[in-house]
Structure 1
């Protein structure tokens, strides 16, 4: 469905770009793949901005998201936010499935503001995060056996973002990704998220969920050594290392009152450590063993 009279997806853009994200976007990717990945990113960013828009109604958000879906699949008129990805997919003969999964996540954001438990949150991550890694792997022609390592990394990145922004999400969007059963288990409440400093109960909840994220990162630790493309392996290793560092911050700091995002120096340090990790994992005799094990 198009939206000829209302706000367009372009008008709903926040102005945030790929260099503003918490984690690197196609920094080390080979130029032959970077354009397609950035086209995917910009489409997803436009849809995310619609879902998070402060003044659009739920119906307006869903209408715009449906319009992006229709433009992407050719069911509706072209949209400037969808066109670069349409071209990239057509050039590679790829379906729009991964982008459509993300659109479904943003429809959830428009309709849903609470999550019952970890399984409910992981279902959301299966739509909002895992398709990103799967798209990047498919662009590179990687074996889909690598999805089993990519999925937990992408889910961990999503949960880390939720924990970092939990106060802002609750205040600005009345959206709480921290599972209700985790809050209840530690005696915390949604009201705690609207304060300028976390209560002990909320801190316990955040550290509990940071620990769950650390478990996801343990499942993805071998991922850099399982991809064939060397530059992709380096980028994955940098992201993995940065994610592990951020989990450490979330286990010891209060995201409502303290900085829990990486500084430029910390991001650079994670990049250096990540590259070293990738080179170690990909040393002769190790990479082939891991790929064989994955299959």
Structure 2
């Protein structure tokens, strides 16, 4: 079944397409393998998530935090109106990507709760949410990243597959959580330098003898030549083990997705997970250096994804 957007939304979808193409080339290329109607829906959701993220990251310097919080809370309130076909406030309805987004939410039955969870995740960051335990980190990650998996599910699911299936929903949310864990394991130094944030669970830090002073010292440019302490590497590996767990479920549910969504999903999961191996190869220096999967590694992991998909029914 094709859910072709009406012609009068062409400009709005074109804008959403441009947002995604400019902000995330790899994500754009991967999901362009989808049928056109589903790909357009993905771009609309991407534009929403990009907007929420930018409201916090870009507007914080020009506006008072209370104003940004109020704006995001207003956005959450207006999302409810999409379910009841009530008029949305012009400040949102007039956004270039909004008509495409609204059509996508209504047509595909995107969970409003998932959209709101993304907003709440950004508000947690603004409130300087303290990650004192692994449970706190999972809670935070479910909002900022697991929510993306849940909102994407109705677009990526195969014909006849129930997007409300609890196990399938859990696998999609968990993939987002795993990717967020990888983000944190990759960006320890950057998060501290740029925002003064430490997302590593404080109880795990204490268990391994790692404290904020150590993170601060190792994250500065003058600490670039310092060897990463074994205690930090052990802490990192502990958290990486938890990340590994959250990546597993999606591979058990690949047959539930549209045939043309399976490779983008599997390859994206493997490539993102592969960032952790890049950190290991760099001596656990996620403090002053940026780690990423090389082009050769990405090609290898795409081939691995293709191998995993062999034998799946179409």
> Is the structural similarity TM-score above 0.5?
yes
Largest Rg, 1 or 2: 2
Inter-CA distance 57–159: structure 2 relative to 1 (3 Å threshold) = farther
Is the 1:152–1:219 Cα contact (8 Å) retained in structure 2? yes
Which of 168, 183, 188 is matched with 1:146 structurally?
168
**Alignment correspondent of 1:193:** 215
Unaligned runs of 5+ in 2: 1-18, 82-87
Matched residue SS, 1:221: helix
- Partners in 2 of 1:272 and 1:27 — Cα distance? 18
1:76 aligns with 2:89: yes
Listed as ranges, the matches of 1:1-295 within 5 Å are 17-19=23-25, 26-53=31-58, 55=61, 56-74=63-81, 75-77=88-90, 78-80=93-95, 82-141=98-157, 142-143=161-162, 144=165, 145-194=167-216, 195-196=219-220, 197=224, 198-224=228-254, 226-252=255-281, 253-280=284-311, 282=312
- Report the secondary structure of 1:129's partner residue: helix
Aligned to 1:291: none
Q: Does the C-alpha gap of structure 1 residues 24 and 238 become closer, same or farther in structure 2, counting only changes over 3 Å?
A: farther
User: C-alpha distance in 2, partners of 1:24/1:120?
Assistant: 33
Whether the aligned pair in 1 keeps the contact of 2:184 and 2:200 (CA below 8 Å) is yes
Which range is displaced more, 210-219 or 190-199?
A: 190-199
Q: Secondary structure at the match of 1:176?
A: coil
TM-score normalised over the length of structure 2: 0.75
CA RMSD in angstroms, aligned pairs only: 2.7
Higher helix share: 2
Q: Contact 1:206/1:250 (CA < 8 Å) preserved in 2?
A: no
Contact 1:72/1:96 (8 A) holds in 2: yes
Shift of 1:229: 1.1
* CA shift for structure 1 position 222: 1.9
Q: How many residues align?
A: 268
Uncovered stretches (5+) of structure 1, i.e. residues with no partner:
1-12, 288-295
